[in-house]
Amino acid sequence: MSKILVTGSNGFVGTHLVKELHDNNIEVVGVGGPMPASSKQPSIDQYYELDLNNKAEAEKIDFSGITGVIHLAGLAAVGPSFENPMDYITTNIGIQTNLFEVALAQKSFPKFLIISSGSLYDAKASMPLTESSSVIPSSPYAVSKIGQEQMAGYYGQRGFTYIIARPFNHIGPGQNSGFLIPDVAQQIIAVEKGTAKEVKVGNLEAQRDYTDVRDIVRAYRLLLEKGNGGETYNICSGKAVSGHEVVQGLLSAAESSIPITEDPDRLRPSDNPIIYGDNSKITSATGWRPEITLEQTFVDVIADWRGRN
């Protein structure tokens, strides 16, 4: 049985990833922050509660027997990185460096899957975006992800096998507010409960590439199993969907007739009109393709938010 270390195992993506690995008979070692008793994951075989920013704490991880690492932990929201650039640079690059250094000190060399981001690409490049499309640091968050990729390359020279994953927009049940789909879903539930009268939105013209988080984590598992060391892989649907389609899809899933109003505070006029990726490389390497429809995702997201209230 494989034994996989998952950092950020109690986050949005991490909880889905742990289940995916467990369901495929893989032993899971989780790393994350404090986990409430109500959130204990039966799918995790061993859990380390520690701060990976602190190397002394990272050194508590026993890498013996660990065959792979899927590194999710770090700061993930793009917006706040403009206000706190140093936090993003030091946290995202520092955590990963600590992991490699601790494994190196223990003379353990598991395969690392580094989770980067599809947001690294130049949004003005021709579509669809491929792994060879130009990369441009459009935010401190993007800079930190480029740094993570470069650090992985450095440790590749120190004897580690690594793979880079560049997921595009991932969505699904369990995602917290701060992104279009959970923000709209939360407002829909508020209207249903009578605590709001309308759903406020920003720019819905922009088209983005969305993939269900459960398909994303399946891609992570397959990449760790079948991906080629030193390679970079897009994880995306290969389709562009507008904000209008997203909102209408959520409303259809909720079976609600709710007024939609444009909120000037939510407008982002600098949004690039259309961004989507090419997933042919990961499909060729692993056979992965998205399986969960947007319609199913919307139904599950609405059900998730109903269950929170």
**pLDDT tens digits for range 113-155:** 999 999 999 989 999 999 999 999 899 999 999 999 999 999 9
What is the chain's mean pLDDT, rounded? 94
Q: For 3-167, CATH number? A: 3.40.50.720
Nearest one of 42, 43, 6 to 23, comparing CA atoms: 43
216-236 exposure pattern, b = at least 16 Cβ within 10 A, e = fewer: bbbbbbbbbeebeeeebbbbb
Q: Does residue 128 have a cis peptide bond before it, meaning omega lies within 30 degrees of 0?
A: yes
Which strands, in side-by-side order, build the sheet including 46-49?
Answer: 46-49, 27-32, 3-7, 68-71, 111-115, 162-167, 232-235
pLDDT of residue 295: 97
Q: Which two tokens stand for residue 48?
A: 């380390």
Give the pLDDT score at 257.
Answer: 85
Give me the residue spans of the domains in the chain: 3-167, 175-208+239-276+292-308
Alpha carbon distance 302, 267 (integer Å)? 24
pLDDT tens for residues 48-68?
999 999 999 999 999 999 999
For residue range 78-118, what is the model confidence (pLDDT) as tens digits?
A: 889 999 999 999 999 999 999 999 999 999 999 999 999 99
- Whole-prediction pTM value? 0.95
Q: Is the pLDDT of residue 270 over 60?
A: no
- Read off the pLDDT of each residue in 264-280 and give the average, rounded to a whole number: 78
pLDDT tens track for 213-266: 999 999 999 999 999 999 999 999 999 999 999 999 999 999 778 989 987 776
Q: What is the pLDDT of residues 176-220, one digit of tens each?
A: 998 899 999 999 999 999 999 999 998 899 999 999 999 999 999
Return the percent helix, strand and coil in the chain, to nearest 5.
40, 20, 40
pLDDT value for 302: 97
What are residue 212's phi and psi, to 5 degrees?
-65, 140
pLDDT of 35 > 80? The answer is no
Pick the CATH number of 175-208+239-276+292-308 from 1.10.8.60, 3.30.413.10, 3.40.1360.10, 3.90.25.10: 3.90.25.10
